[in-house]
Structure 1
Amino acid sequence: TGYRNKCEFLISVGADGEDKTIGFRLGKYKGGSCAVVGPEGTCHVSAEAKRVVSVFQKFIRTTAYSVYSPETYEGHWKQLTVRTTRTKQAMAIIFFNPQKLEEEEINSLKDTMKKYFTEGEGKESGVSSLYFVRDGQRKSPNLEDLPCELVAGESSIHEELLALKFRISPHSFFQVNTGAAEVLYSAVGEWAQLDQDSTVLDVCCGTGTIGISLAKRVKKVIGIEMCQEAVEDARVNAKLNGLTNIEFHCGKAEDTFPNILNALVSPSITAIVDPPRAGLHSKVILAIRRAEHLKRLVYVACNAKAAMANFIDLCRAPSNRVHGAPFRPVRAMAVDLFPQTMHVEMLLLFERVDYNSQQP
């Protein structure tokens, strides 16, 4: 219980009619309900996050600004994201629609917020990093595209995982269940069968967690990630842990991965991929198939159904479109990263079919 280290809460009218409530929506917005209920009774939200929500709710209720309505597009307060760590740090990111407010008024609000969390009642919330985000878009934006303004505290928080240290910035990806992530990454390391001659390609590496957890047992780690902020965190994380055999490249996997893979001459290459829900771009899969010196692939899938096309392309027979010997699935395991929900993280090991080896 209380396992989530990142929660996104909506700000709306409460189910009990109470204005300016922070919590989770009771039903789908399409169903006509914008009401939210607080997280107090939930089992997956940590006590630290619940405390931040409670204090933030008190704060916004002291302000003159109303909650944002997705029906009328009026109002201001939209969302609160809370990130917490085992090291007892907390980051709060508040999303606010400025509408037609003057810059002076917004700055005044940020000053009031800063004072509340550094000198007032919010001081006891445990928030060590406080951000303000202007979100004036009607359609749900890509949150990574919205700049975060640091209002108070440190610019990042730090987490410990497998006796390693990791810096986490507002937009950086980090598995939401730290304890279960340790189980997942330990299994990745075991399945990858690495040694001091191995080169690891960590695709969609986020803040570098998987690659960094493996770096001490291999020759080299190369991480690829499209979020610039996460790449910066990954580089800092490598330094934090005294690692010099690891490098990170910023770019879309489909644009970056083929060139990096083609330039590698190491006889022992293992790819570890941890893509977003939709899976890897087909260009990445085709590049993996072409690179016959890549013999082993560990695939971390948060939605195995969505990644099924990737699995099929890895294993299908060579054709005009797909070059190179196919892979075959060797092991599979589910890791319960999201207890109390229907979702699990899937781990699959693929090995290249060797047509030259003698089959019994």
Structure 2
Amino acid sequence: MADGPVADPPLSKEEEEEEEEEETTSDELPQLSINDDAKAERETEAASDPSLYRYIKEDLFTSEIYKVEIRNLPKFIGFNDLKKFLAKHAINPHKIKLLSKQTFAFVTFKNEEERDKAMKMVHGLQWKGQVLSVRLAKPKADPILRKRKQEEEEEEATGGQPPPKRTDGDDEEEPLSVQIANAVTPLWNVPYEEQLRRKEQEVVGVLQRLAKEMGSTNKAMLPWLFAQKGKYNKMCCPLEDIRPSPTQTAYRNKCEFLISAGADGEDKTIGFRLGKYKGGSCAVVGPAETCHVSAEAKRVVSEFQTFIRTTPYSVYSPETYEGHWKQLTVRTTRSKQAMAVAFFHPQKLEEEEVEALKDSMRRHFTAGEGKDSGITSLYFVREGQRKSPNVEDLPCELVSGESCIHEELLGLTFRISPHSFFQVNTGAAELLYSAVGEWAQLDQDSTVLDVCCGTGTIGISLAKRVKKVIGIEMCREAVEDAKVNAQLNGLSNAEFHCGKAEDVFPNVLNAVVSPSITAIVDPPRAGLHSRVILAIRRAEHLKRLVYVSCNAKAAMNNFVDLCRAPSNRVRGAPFRPVRAMAVDLFPQTMHVEMLLLLERVDYRSHQANGSAGEDTGSSL
């Protein structure tokens, strides 16, 4: 369900960077404390240089203010081990940073309640012979301000002389068009056949690793696994040839562009970030010479850049939290419709000024210089003071044009709203969904559960073959689109539920009475919540599962948990993988979509079912 490489979204600093964490002070194991004194201590630590931690004082969302340090972890554990351990205790972190070769980790949460719950539950727990300890952790320093401070200190040390420029032939010596291509489409200069080979090898590695994990978590499958690995190059199931994208360039129907200072010195530039925030860079380069962005989207960016340069409002600065223009999201369709969504921080502007800006935008794109931009749906979003990491929580104000755009896929029509998920490569998505329909082995008695359904594309594309389609999606806009899409395509056997999959799916599944149920899941990068996996395992009338993964490595826990041996906690017969395939939805990048078909083990016909309590290292 990934969108592939895009510009960084207009979120907090914590979301915009992936830098290494710094170790907090105190070598002694701390005592649990979440009172005011402990919070004051954390703020005192941050106050060692307040300018580097200014962002936590702003009234913006950042999980850095809900960060804890877990100490005394067992040696040799990995990220997935810690993630499984926290999930086992119903702890839902926003972000985990496990320092390599260290026995401590930093974990952030979305709010104070979740952080405090985690501190109370984890502190004092025993894990592999180690008694865990938890304390509040200081936030990390703003990387841009930290880099600037280091440069100032270097200048002072050299008598006011700036540090020498790099002359080692690195990316700074390359043309900007090459630098931005390397940043957003790193395989742009690799022949397409070689790109496909590399991606297929990535999937081979995933399936080989899954075979190993299954062998350690379900001993009863070892004889079957041994035979599979012998036949399929140490993989747990056969891997079909990768399906190439019908088009390798200009394929993206959605791009998220940052608005910032241009790397070429031009102000108010719309494009992709040249470097990472952690590297101290906010400069962007326009998409004119990028190979994955469509001509229609490039035209919208060019016209919108012209417009914002006529306004008196500056670009938003993530280091000072001043300025206004933040991001432009552009969505296009095969029928040449285009949606533009402008993200703007009003700061302390009066409502009259914001309304005047919207009027100016409307005039520019309906009767002014931008009337030929191709925009058919223009939205304005006030970034304001966000309290949530989810962009879907921000209301979109329609400035001009239609409220939605429409796309054709597999002969069907789909309505798309600003926040709704729709695969970014329409042609390749048709290949993907066709394979899903083939693998699902459906008939007129089948019920399809479409989990993380977005605008309903998968379920609706299969609806005429089955008795019923039930979709689940947490984005309310997408659910409304899915309902409309069912009507647009003359379907009366599809229903859609709004909510988190882990909250909705168990109840929906228990209510389904059907001789043939197939689940199709297309979750975000991190995979399905463990509660969804538990519900799937318990529902033994669900015999077939088609898993669509945009990040198979991140979904590995899901795959393993679906296949592990039954236990008192993980009830129901396990699944096993029987078929896999890669589909290239993201040419010029290393991202690839993986399709995995899993079928329930029938204990009535398989003697090697093991004991119900055999479960080594369950993560659920």
From the superposition, tell whether residues 124 and 313 of structure 1 become closer, same or farther in structure 2 (CA, over 3 Å).
same
- Aligned partner of 1:180 in structure 2 is 428
Describe the SS at the equivalent of 2:376: strand
2: CA distance between counterparts of 1:37 and 1:81? Answer: 15
Which structure 2 residues correspond to residues 66-85 of structure 1 after superposition, within 5 A? Answer: 66-85=314-333
**Aligned-pair distance for 1:136?**
2.1
- Aligned partner of 1:212 in structure 2 is 460
Q: Deviations over 1:297-329 (max 9, x none)?
A: 000001111111100010000011100000000
**Aligned-pair distance for 1:137?**
3.5
From the superposition, tell whether residues 138 and 265 of structure 1 become closer, same or farther in structure 2 (CA, over 3 Å).
closer
2: CA distance between counterparts of 1:204 and 1:249? Answer: 10
1:197–1:218 CA contact under 8 A, matched in 2? yes
From the superposition, tell whether residues 326 and 187 of structure 1 become closer, same or farther in structure 2 (CA, over 3 Å).
same
State whether structure 2 residue 478 is matched by structure 1 residue 242: no
Q: Deviations over 1:255-292 (max 9, x none)?
A: 11111111112110000000111110111101100111
From the superposition, tell whether residues 140 and 294 of structure 1 become closer, same or farther in structure 2 (CA, over 3 Å).
closer
Q: Which of 349, 354, 357 is residue 597 of structure 2 equivalent to?
A: 349
1: CA distance between counterparts of 2:358 and 2:601? Answer: 59
Q: Which of 399, 404, 422 is residue 151 of structure 1 equivalent to?
A: 399
**Aligned-pair distance for 1:95?**
0.4
State whether structure 2 residue 377 is matched by structure 1 residue 129: yes
- Aligned partner of 1:96 in structure 2 is 344
- Aligned partner of 2:524 in structure 1 is 276
1:200–1:272 CA contact under 8 A, matched in 2? yes
Describe the SS at the equivalent of 2:318: coil
- Aligned partner of 2:287 in structure 1 is 39
Which structure 2 residues correspond to residues 1-360 of structure 1 after superposition, within 5 A? Answer: 1-137=249-385, 141-357=389-605
Q: Deviations over 1:149-173 (max 9, x none)?
A: 0000000000000000000000000
Describe the SS at the equivalent of 2:540: coil
Q: TM-score, normalised by structure 2?
A: 0.57
Q: CA RMSD in A?
A: 1.2
**Aligned-pair distance for 1:121?**
1.1
Q: Deviations over 1:171-221 (max 9, x none)?
A: 000000000000000000000000011000000101000000000000111
Q: Where does structure 1 differ by over 3 angstroms across 4 or more consecutive aligned residues?
A: 137-141
1: CA distance between counterparts of 2:320 and 2:508? Answer: 49
1:117–1:123 CA contact under 8 A, matched in 2? yes
Q: How many residues align?
A: 360
**Aligned-pair distance for 1:359?**
7.6
2: CA distance between counterparts of 1:264 and 1:130? Answer: 41
1: CA distance between counterparts of 2:575 and 2:352? Answer: 60
Aligned amino acid, residue 444 of structure 2:
Q
Describe the SS at the equivalent of 1:127: coil
1:73–1:138 CA contact under 8 A, matched in 2? no
From the superposition, tell whether residues 321 and 191 of structure 1 become closer, same or farther in structure 2 (CA, over 3 Å).
same
1:272–1:298 CA contact under 8 A, matched in 2? yes
2: CA distance between counterparts of 1:307 and 1:62? Answer: 46
Q: Deviations over 1:212-257 (max 9, x none)?
A: 0000000111011111110000000000000001101111111111
**Aligned-pair distance for 1:356?**
1.3
Kindly indicate which of the two structures has a greater share of residues assigned to helix. 2
1:6–1:176 CA contact under 8 A, matched in 2? yes
2: CA distance between counterparts of 1:140 and 1:337? Answer: 29
2: CA distance between counterparts of 1:167 and 1:148? Answer: 16
2: CA distance between counterparts of 1:51 and 1:196? Answer: 46
2: CA distance between counterparts of 1:258 and 1:215? Answer: 22
Q: Deviations over 1:28-52 (max 9, x none)?
A: 0111111100001100000000000
2: CA distance between counterparts of 1:61 and 1:250? Answer: 40
Q: TM-score, normalised by structure 1?
A: 0.98
Q: Deviations over 1:56-113 (max 9, x none)?
A: 0000001111111101111110000000000110000000010000000000000000
1: CA distance between counterparts of 2:337 and 2:513? Answer: 43
1: CA distance between counterparts of 2:532 and 2:282? Answer: 40
Aligned amino acid, residue 349 of structure 2:
L
2: CA distance between counterparts of 1:136 and 1:22? Answer: 20
1: CA distance between counterparts of 2:583 and 2:388? Answer: 30
Aligned amino acid, residue 602 of structure 2:
D
Describe the SS at the equivalent of 2:578: strand
1: CA distance between counterparts of 2:545 and 2:603? Answer: 18
Describe the SS at the equivalent of 1:216: helix
**Aligned-pair distance for 1:358?**
5.9
Aligned amino acid, residue 370 of structure 2:
G
1:70–1:138 CA contact under 8 A, matched in 2? no
2: CA distance between counterparts of 1:187 and 1:245? Answer: 22
Q: Which has the higher contact order (CA 8 A, sep 6+)?
A: 2
2: CA distance between counterparts of 1:251 and 1:69? Answer: 34
Task: Return the index of the structure with the highest Cα Rg.
Answer: 2
1:25–1:35 CA contact under 8 A, matched in 2? yes
Aligned amino acid, residue 267 of structure 2:
D
From the superposition, tell whether residues 359 and 327 of structure 1 become closer, same or farther in structure 2 (CA, over 3 Å).
same
**Aligned-pair distance for 1:139?**
8.4
**Aligned-pair distance for 1:141?**
3.8
**Aligned-pair distance for 1:138?**
7.2
**Aligned-pair distance for 1:125?**
0.4
- Aligned partner of 2:106 in structure 1 is none
2: CA distance between counterparts of 1:129 and 1:296? Answer: 40
